[in-house]
A and B are shown apart, each in its own frame.
Chain A
Amino acid sequence: MKRIIAYLVSVVFLMTILLTGCGSSGNSVSKGSEQSSTTANSGTKKITVWCWDPNFNVAIMNDAKAIYTKEHPDVQIDVVEMAKADLEQKLNTVLASGVKEGLPDIVLIEDYNAQKYLQAYPGAFADLTDKIDYSKFAKYKVELMTLDGKIYGVPFDSGVTGLFYRRDILEQAGYKPEDLNNITWDQFIEIGKKVKEKTGKAMIGFDPADGGLMRIMLQSAGEWYFDKDGKPNFTQNPAMKEAMITYKKLFDSGIVKKVSGWNEWVAAFNKGDTATVVTGAWIIGSIKAEASQSGKWGLAPTPRLSLSNSVNASNLGGSSWYVLNGSKNKDVAIDFLKEIYAGNVEFYQKILVERGAIATYLPAQSGEAYSAPDPFFGGQKIYADLSEYMKNIPPVNYGVYTYEADAAIMGIMPDVYSGKISIDEALKKAGEQLKNQINH
């Protein structure tokens, strides 16, 4: 009797598993076929885009999508947002596995990483040399996406840098806006000392482990961590030595508020603890997030190094769009980028006003939004100014090992700060370490 019951129970149990299993899979099949039939009926072409910042490039891509799909109702654009690290992780794994499925049609890639992807995954990205008129884009930007004479991406936002400062604090310390024009970092530190003395505020928020400022300084001199052939160049690099000296001076000067990480760094100027920010124009959104400081900000050119080849213009970050070669609707994807990002001046006015995106598409800069005064910056025409700075950014080849170099040099900085080793020794040590790390 017991046996029979046990038998019955197990049969019922198995049946339920089988039935529910079949049932659910049946459902999903019908759903799938429904979806495919709807897409097949309307004959839409679907494009998937991957990008990372919901307040910036995702929002801008959605604007672009709205404009394009109005004129091309047969195109369906799917903008997928994911964290930048996740995006890179996913792109890397899928590309390396050699699978064609699972990739987007258009992907946003940070400029520092562009050459790395182009060289690591040859043939993965579509060659756009003949499709886009690159003469209309900022030259430094096009150079970053060129490999063996072929150009691969569509330039997007610029990381043109500036010295953003609090007018009220500097005024209190006795400085006029003109006093900040075209200064060197040494002058910057001198001004900072006055500011600290008169107002008690720090001059700038400074993350001692962050190499962003270093990259700004290097590019302002037209130099990078590498020489023309992409070999690490730490020791024969006057710009780098000068940048290290400046880092140490800033660290020791007592005019910086030391912070760790992005959140603290942004909080430092949002709370009004620091008088200036030196970074890429993409920071404008974060500056404006603190509405109570409206009208109190100003913009001056980036400080330069005390070297003859250093100019008052530089770049930090920035990114571009790339089309995947394996995309099913490659032509549509290219046409989309071409029509909006390489042709629609009005679109660029819109994203500048609404999102603060500085275009590297030169015709866009003659638009009216670029010459409009910004009340948040005391009526200064900051976008016209930034466009001016952009023309002076020295082009630099970032190579493929920027992050390795950055980690090597910033890894040794604590010893430089504490005075344990001299700057020459540090450069030598970091350079050798990098060489050992990247030789293949």
Chain B
Amino acid sequence: MVKRKMEHSILCKNLSYNRILDNYGWLFISFALMLLVIFLFYPIVYSFYLSFTSSKGIVQKFIGFENYIKLFNDQMFLLALKNTFTILIIQVPIMLFLALILADILNDKNIKFRGFFRTGIFLPTVTSLVATAVLFKMMFSLDGLVNTILLKLHLLKEPIPWLLDPFWAKITLIIGMTWRWTGYNMVFYLSGLQNIPYDLYESAAIDGANKIQQFFYITIPMLKPIIIFTTIMSTIGTLQLFDEPINLSSGGVTASSVGPGNSLLTLSVYIYNLVFKYMPNFGYAAAVSYVIVFITAILTFIQFKVVGEKE
């Protein structure tokens, strides 16, 4: 009887002790949790609610799914979607492939001034974006540096309307983005390359594989996890593309289109315009941002599936 009682009390003690520990645990994380709820969960939930409303500033009304239906008829939104995907499909593969090749070349121990080239290629990533955009605008103006050089070299007869034509404006944007972000991705690949044992290349060389074969049959398969990672990061980054188009198209005399013929209008820029440039419609802007979330989730899922992590 006594023994049982003791056992019981020990059990109780343990239980309550655990409970106290539990409570302390909650206490310790409560502050971080509170911040998380206030600044992350609440905005997510509230913006989801917002996406079912329509607003003119603070004049707000609940309209159910109308925002999402309206999206399909909104040519401006569809154009932004199209622009974003055009840039995504063209720019990301070019940039990643370029980064991969550069990383492979700069990983070669026989190349002189490796550190210099690595730094040089990485440097655009850390420069100020506004400064780059201003320089790009100057270089790519009708009588700017790029056209002048191309004309002087007799590669062109007429100057290219880089920032004046919808097609060329997109090309300029892609050039700018590639210039800026290739070095960033290259660093990931470089660090990945350090983990590939040199024996593999050696034995491949003995078996008679040339450099190009080594690149495609050893380097790329071995870097697969990092390639997936950079692809996903670049995809998400491009879907949220905002700074580059805003800065490249900014400073219009009194303009409100984003680039010639809205050719640089991306989804994020459209969200910004919906709230800050046009009649502030927070509800509709929230709906558009949920479209981005949705697309990002789908694309990431597809990328995981396609590349196929077996385990």
Contact = CB atoms under 8 A, between A and B. Distances in A.
B76 A209 contact: no
Contacts of B70: 436, 439
Interface stretch (B88-96, B193-201, B270-278, B296-304): B270-278
B283 to A, nearest CB: 9
Given A210-B253, A400-B56, A436-B74, 7 more contacts: A120-B58, A209-B252, A211-B257, A260-B260, A410-B255, A415-B261, A439-B70
A5 to B, nearest CB: 25
Contacts of B259: 209
Contacts of A374: none
Contact of A414 (B166, B265, B278): B166
Contact of A92 (B137, B163, B262, B275): B275
Given A119-B57, A414-B165, A401 B251 contact: no
Contacts of B56: 119-120, 400, 440
Contacts of A149: none
Nearest to B161: A258
B156 interface: no
A208 B256 CA distance: 12
B81 interface: no
A33 interface: no
A220 to B, nearest CB: 16
B122 interface: no
Interface residues of A, number: 51
Contacts of A440: 54, 56, 63, 281
B276 to A, nearest CB: 5
A260 B63 CA distance: 40
B203 interface: no
Contacts of A95: 57-58
A290 B260 CA distance: 29
Nearest to B165: A414
Interface in B3-23: none
Contacts of B273: 403, 407
CB-based closest 4 A-B pairs: A120-B57, A414-B261, A212-B254, A411-B262
A317 interface: yes
A265 B255 CA distance: 12
A411 B280 contact: no
A317 B56 CA distance: 23
Contacts of B141: 259-260, 264
B36 interface: no
A121 B251 contact: no
- Of B56, B257, B259, B275, most A-chain CB atoms within 10 Å: B257
A207 B164 CA distance: 8
Given A212-B253, A411-B79, A411-B261, A96 B57 contact: yes
Nearest to A115: B279
A207 B262 contact: no
Contacts of A98: 58
Contacts of B73: 436
A263 B137 contact: yes
Interface string A424-439: 0000000011001111
Interface residues of B, number: 46
Nearest to A411: B262
Contact of B75 (A121, A401, A433): A433
Contacts of A437: 74-77
Contacts of A408: 76
Interface string A116-150: 11011110000000000000000000000000000
Interface string B145-186: 000000000000000010111100000000000000000000
Contacts of A88: 276-277
6 contacts: A85-B276, A208-B164, A259-B142, A317-B254, A410-B255, A414-B261
A197 interface: no
Given A212-B254, A260-B164, A436-B75, A92 B279 contact: no
A401 B279 contact: yes
B75 A438 contact: no
B142 A96 contact: no
Contacts of A85: 276
Contacts of A432: 75
Contact of B256 (A121, A260, A410, A436): A410
A279 B164 CA distance: 21
A204 to B, nearest CB: 12
B192 to A, nearest CB: 37
A261 interface: yes
Contacts of A406: 255-257
B173 to A, nearest CB: 13
Interface in B217-266: 249-263, 265
A67 interface: no
A316 B254 CA distance: 9
Given A98-B58, A121-B58, A407-B262, A92 B276 contact: yes
The residue among A212, A260, A408 with the most chain B CB atoms within 10 A of its own CB is A260
Best-buried of A95, A117, A404 by chain B (most CB within 10 Å):
A404
Contact of A209 (B58, B261, B281): B261
B50 to A, nearest CB: 11
A87 to B, nearest CB: 10
Given A85-B276, A120-B279, A258-B161, A411 B137 contact: no
Contact of A212 (B75, B163, B249, B255): B255
Most buried by A among B77, B142, B252: B252
B255 A207 contact: yes
B260 A414 contact: yes
A262 B58 contact: no
A225 B37 CA distance: 45
Nearest to B284: A440
A412 interface: yes
B251 A263 contact: yes
Interface string A81-109: 00001001100100110100000000000
Given A207-B255, A211-B257, A96 B58 contact: yes
Contacts of A317: 254
